[in-house]
Amino acid sequence: MKQIWPAALVAAATVTAAISPITSVGNKFFTSSGVQFFIKGIAYQLTPDDPLVDTEQCKRDAELMKTLGANTIRVYHVDPKADHSGCMSEFANAGIYALIDMDTFNTYILPNNPWWNQTQYHAYSAVMDAFSEFDNTLGFFVGNEIIAKPDQSMAAPFIKAAARDMKAYRDQKKYRKIPIGYSAADIAELRPMLQDYLTCGGNASENIDFFGLNSYEWCDPSTYESSGYRNLESMAVDFPVPIFFSETGCNVPGPRLFEDQAAIFGPRMVKDWSGSIIYEWIQEENNYGLISYGPKADPTATGPNVEGGFTRKGQPTPVTPDFSNLKKQWATITPSGVAISDYDPSSVSTRGCPTSTPSGWLVNGNVALPTLGETFRGSYTPSPTVTGGSSPSNVQSGTASASPTKNAASVRGEITRMGVGLVVLMLVFTLWP
């Protein structure tokens, strides 16, 4: 009798055969064959809810991304109940991995009144369930720019608690060790305290597996010294986990030359940085796009593929000269990595937990992390040990679900640059919870 395989299983099998899973060791990413992996990525969010559900569109975009030289996409929002097998297969066939944000429009960790509860836990774990089967799932973010101002750093232990619980869930479900990390806003007063805090304390089960930085410091024409990249590099030397630019690509004054890519993948930074993600794929009102799907429409136009005045489906057309400028940069970049067999992860430095500072870092040392269902109420006390699980005295139990209003940091990082359509959607969430 002929065996009939479900379409989703066939697609998943295609993914498995097409691409090598990535893992993090020390401060580097490696393929399963032991080759160091560097991210050449694109932020990819065609629609607010989920861009990974239209297989034909994913195929068109993946083919063009391959000619660009991309090997990774970052997706900010997905619907865990949808079927992603077709899109993930198309990207895998093009040699492209996916970094997926686990939070949703109504499950963000809030910066000014943070909590971490069952509602958030189940939403994040549902995303992990949906994408753990794909070999080209590179990693998960537990948050994006949650902390956007110095006085919001008290949310940091909740970010770390989310990473702790998602890593425990991953291991409990016996998924492969898909890395779990965080994407931070580039805030001078908090560097390098936040990246150090999320990797300090000596308990690997509580620490993030990678750290992403959303930085737009290099605005062409610029240099390694004048852009601020030299300062970023000084804070990343021998960092204990992979660090990379989870958003970059300043478009002021424009056009973008992407000359920062030569620095990121060159001899001054390549030992410590694992690549970059360019913001963004689709052209929108913010003028960060690398491609368009047609001429700009009337902002009030409606239709199945039009939102905020921009068509969001069809044949992708490169935006000139940005697309060709990035393609030329990536074509000349061949970062020199290290084989896993020659790499000693003990060579990287374990960071101490930062103490509070007058300029804004408010978490003093290795504080005990909140447990699931707890809400911040005003202060932290140091953890007596490096092990987790105890309920600190500075948080209180709570069962409230997360606010439907997206935090200000993420509005700046994802909404302002993602266009009018997504802003309108967020207003709907705010006014109609």
Contact 403, 110 (CB under 8 A): yes
Classify 158 as helix, strand or coil.
helix
Contact 255, 279 (CB under 8 A): no
Contact 353, 284 (CB under 8 A): no
Q: What is the pTM of this model?
A: 0.86
Summarize pLDDT for 207-249 with one digit per residue, the tens. Answer: 999 999 999 999 999 999 999 999 999 999 999 999 999 999 9
Please report whether residue 2 resides in a domain. Answer: no
- To 5 degrees, how large is the angle CA 10–CA 168–CA 172? 55
H-helix segments, 176-274: 193-197, 224-227, 229-236, 260-264
Rounded Cα–Cα distance for residues 303 and 5 (Å): 36
Of the candidates 356, 353, 347, 399, the residue with the CA atom closest to the CA atom of residue 375 = 399
Predicted pLDDT of residue 316: 97
* 13 pLDDT more than 80: no
Please report whether residue 1 resides in a domain. Answer: no
- The CATH number of the domain holding residue 193 is 3.20.20.80
Predicted pLDDT of residue 381: 59
Distances (CA, A) of 423 to 19, 181, 195, 293, 412: 36, 26, 29, 20, 11
H-helix segments, 108-214: 118-131, 156-172, 193-197
Residues forming a β-bridge with 273: 243
* 302 pLDDT more than 50: yes
Mean per-residue pLDDT of the chain:
85
Say which of 247, 284, 307, 374 is annotated catalytic.
247
Task: Show the domain range for 161.
Answer: 7-431
Q: Residue 330: CB partners within 8 Å, gap ≥ 6?
A: 40, 68, 69, 70, 261
Rounded Cα–Cα distance for residues 66 and 182 (Å): 26
* 304 pLDDT more than 90: no
Domains contained in the chain, number: 1
Confidence label for 391 from pLDDT (cuts 50, 70 and 90): very low
Predicted pLDDT of residue 379: 67
Q: Residue 173: CB partners within 8 Å, gap ≥ 6?
A: 128, 129, 132
Contact 380, 367 (CB under 8 A): yes
Please report whether residue 339 resides in a domain. Answer: yes
Q: Is 284 a catalytic residue?
A: no
Rounded Cα–Cα distance for residues 76 and 203 (Å): 28
Check residue 50 and report its DSSP letter.
-
Say which of 133, 145, 206, 307 is annotated catalytic.
145
Q: Residue 110: CB partners within 8 Å, gap ≥ 6?
A: 146, 155, 402, 403, 407
Predicted pLDDT of residue 423: 33
Mean pLDDT of 11-34: 79
Classify 317 as helix, strand or coil.
strand
Predicted pLDDT of residue 8: 40
Please report whether residue 260 resides in a domain. Answer: yes
Q: Is 145 a catalytic residue?
A: yes
